[in-house]
A = this chain, B = another copy of it.
């Protein structure tokens, strides 16, 4: 299978279950909503070493937010609900409550699982907080030095999927990276997904396990072009750099759509040689995304 002359390998991406909370941050301008969203989702690439996986899902206009201000949906992901509750408390409390002009709304009001994050954060008001209805949502209002901070009482979460992915293999670093940037730009327009790594891109795709017992993941040497001379890397001669795009999302359909538009975007960039995906022969998780089926 080829797209614009780029070979798509007959393989699959292997994802795993994760819990996903979704938060809507509004602010006086889109710029300030993004400032808060970036701080709240930082240090959030992989649960292997970060306290959560997190990212910006999308920016929405005033017609899609309860308070008629610009908004940014973020997703925060943890392996279990207990850690996720902590992530919400600390990331919202430290990075959004403190950010200029922001308010926080429930990004999944219909979900079965609901955390009472706002009801816990309200104690920052030290007795001066209030609970009330605002824009048809039950909110807590916390007086702060710059005015009032509004946070919805509950934040919803669902069983989602982490680790959807594909590899972009290029003639050189620049072509693979430009293609990755194009892919992430296309995925940014898909609702329901995030690309939690820096700029949406992974420069150091890994395999499960390592020769060191203390390491759960290590470099995937078969794909490392600088190990070609030693016969460890088995890449063809025309591939000199690969980037991985990793996708988390609220459901399988959104991740499939993200893989589809991401790969198509990558294949518009000259110098891309091949598309592949990362799997661990089923050792990592039950969610398999077969590239050719998704693109077919």
**Which A residues lie at the B interface, using CB under 8 A?**
28-32, 35-36, 38-46, 48-51, 54, 61-62, 67-70, 89-91, 93-102, 123-128, 142-149, 167, 170-182, 185-186, 189, 197-199, 201-206, 210-212, 214-215, 217-221, 223-227, 232, 240-244, 261, 264-265, 268-271
24 A-B residue pairs with Cβ-Cβ distance under 8 Å, sorted by A, are A28-B268, A38-B198, A39-B197, A43-B95, A51-B51, A68-B265, A70-B186, A98-B197, A98-B204, A100-B203, A124-B215, A126-B221, A128-B219, A128-B224, A144-B203, A144-B224, A145-B202, A145-B220, A145-B243, A147-B203, A148-B226, A173-B175, A173-B271, A271-B271
**Chain B residues whose CB sits within 8 angstroms of the CB of A50 once the complex forms:** 90, 94-95
Whole-angstrom distance between the alpha carbons of A144 and B241 in the complex? 9
Smallest CB separation, A195 vs chain B (Å): 12
Identical copies of this chain, number: 4
**Chain B residues whose CB sits within 8 angstroms of the CB of A149 once the complex forms:** 203-204
Q: Which residue of the partner chain, among B125, B181, B242, contacts A29 with CB atoms under 8 Å?
A: B181
Closest chain B residue to A86, Cβ basis: B49
Q: Which residue of the partner chain, among B43, B62, B224, contacts A265 with CB atoms under 8 Å?
A: B62
Whole-angstrom distance between the alpha carbons of A113 and B21 in the complex? 40
